[in-house]
Amino acid sequence: MADEDQSPPYWTLISVLFSTQPLTPALAMTLHQTAYDLYQRGDSVGQVAGDLISGKVRSLGKDVALGGITGPAFEAEIDTERGSGVVRFLLTRQGLELMQAQPPPPRVKSKPPFLN
């Protein structure tokens, strides 16, 4: 697992445009990671799931600007312990640059099977 102290703070990575649910830092980071994976793969829809969240994240297929903050736009339909909601957000250009400068987290390798 990557050390969270080395990752950029969530407010550098994601800018929330609209939310019907209060977002905790953990929820914001979960949405960011799902959207970032979609952005990297060029996909339009992805599932988000965790201990406290489930739902879909959808790329809106366009960049948006909010003052001096720009980036690709996303919409999430989520279910949390507080109920269902919608979150519209963007991944900041600064955050995308920071994420691309960091090496990807190491993948957990499975142990080789025992040979008889």
The 10s digit of each residue's pLDDT in 17-56 is 899 988 888 888 899 999 999 999 999 999 998 888 899 9
The tally of domains found in the chain comes to: 1
pLDDT category at 2 given cuts 50, 70, 90 is: very low
- Going by C-alpha positions, the residue among 94, 77, 74 that lies closest to residue 32 is 74
> How far is the C-alpha of 12 from the C-alpha of 93, rounded, in Å?
9
45 in a domain, yes or no?
yes
77 in a domain, yes or no?
yes
> How far is the C-alpha of 12 from the C-alpha of 49, rounded, in Å?
22
Amino acid at 62: K
19 in a domain, yes or no?
yes
Domain holding 65, by residue range, is 8-100
- Going by C-alpha positions, the residue among 72, 75, 54 that lies closest to residue 63 is 72
Contacts of 98 (CB under 8 A, 6+ apart): 8, 12, 13
- Residue found by looking up tokens 């948006």 in the block: 64
Average pLDDT over residues 2-9: 55
The 10s digit of each residue's pLDDT in 66-103 is 888 899 999 999 999 889 999 999 999 988 888 886 55
2 in a domain, yes or no?
no
